[in-house]
Amino acid sequence: MVLRPEGLPELPKCGFVSAWDAVASTQKTTSAKYHLVRQPDHARLAGQIAQQISIAGAPAVDDDIVRGISLHDEGWADFDCGRERLGATHARYDENNVALNADGKPLSFLDIKAGDFLRAWRGSIECAEAVAPIAGLIVSEHFRRIGEFGVSLSTYSDSDTQQVREFLAHEEQRQSRLRRLQGRSEKEVAYWTDVLQFCDLLSLYLCCGSEENVEFPQRIGPKGETIRLQRENGVNVLSPSPLAREAEVSLEAQSYPADLHASSTKLGWRVR
């Protein structure tokens, strides 16, 4: 689940911070109320953004790429709606099947332990692979990068690290098989994985409610520029923009605690 706390403190807009740091900060924030964004919905928002990607000199976005990006968190669907309970992560559930920590705060995707997130990662990769080899390939590489980064920073416990290493080895084998089933070069596969991770992080930034000026690590433009985002009159403005035109994107978020009058809220954004 992606948490959007209500009433985030207004921070001085003096320069740019890492987009990931801005997202992570909101997930640690405790609030009286939240909007909860299910991760498959966040991924579909990333797919909406991917449809508008148009970069001079770069390969054109096609349906298989968009569908892969749109499905890159599909393996979280049963966890986020409560049909499947978390096993490795300590959680209690409210009457609406929202997973909570011991203090009653909804669990963010950053709170989930390896025994659970690896199941979600594998399910997401399998959903994407069913669409097309390239879709499975970029989603697999997306999670391989995340897992490898976590291991390099000693993020996980010893037992979780071992599980992640086994996941990484399995995905290397999967990727070797999928590369033979499609015609893109390793360079292009890496580029589309970068695009997935840019759309993923931009979607997370929108969903979490941060209004900080941010910059993205993915250098997907023709000159390898850093892409930055500022809010101007309610519009999220990217510079340089990788989008063909201004995009209007939206999704439904769940209210927490549950509101008797409105169980969900439509969230929408303009990005250019």
The whole-number pLDDT of residue 60 equals 93
Mean pLDDT of 122-145: 98
Q: Whole-angstrom Cα distance, residue 131 to residue 127? A: 7
Q: What percent of the chain is modeled with pLDDT above 70?
A: 98
Q: What is the mean pLDDT of residues 179-194?
A: 97
Give the helix ranges, DSSP H, for 107-181. Answer: 114-131, 133-152, 158-179
Taking the C-alpha atoms of residue 140 and residue 169, their distance in angstroms, rounded to an integer, is: 11
Kindly indicate the confidence band of residue 167, based on its pLDDT and cuts at 50, 70 and 90: very high
* 13 pLDDT above the threshold of 80: no
Mean pLDDT, the chain, as a whole number? 95
Q: Give the tens place of pLDDT for each residue, 23-37.
A: 999 999 999 999 999
Q: Which positions ≥6 away from 170 have C-beta within 8 Å? A: none
Closest CA to 256 of 110, 108, 112: 108
* Of residues 259, 269, 144, the one with CA closest to residue 204: 269
pLDDT (0 to 100) of residue 106: 98
From CA 58, how far away is CA 130, in angstroms rounded? Answer: 26
pLDDT band at 94 (very low <50, low <70, confident <90, very high): very high
Q: What is the pTM of this model?
A: 0.96
Give percent of the chain above pLDDT 90.
92
> Is the model's pLDDT at 196 over the cut of 80?
yes
Cβ contact 79:120 at 8 Å: yes
Domain borders along the chain are 2-271
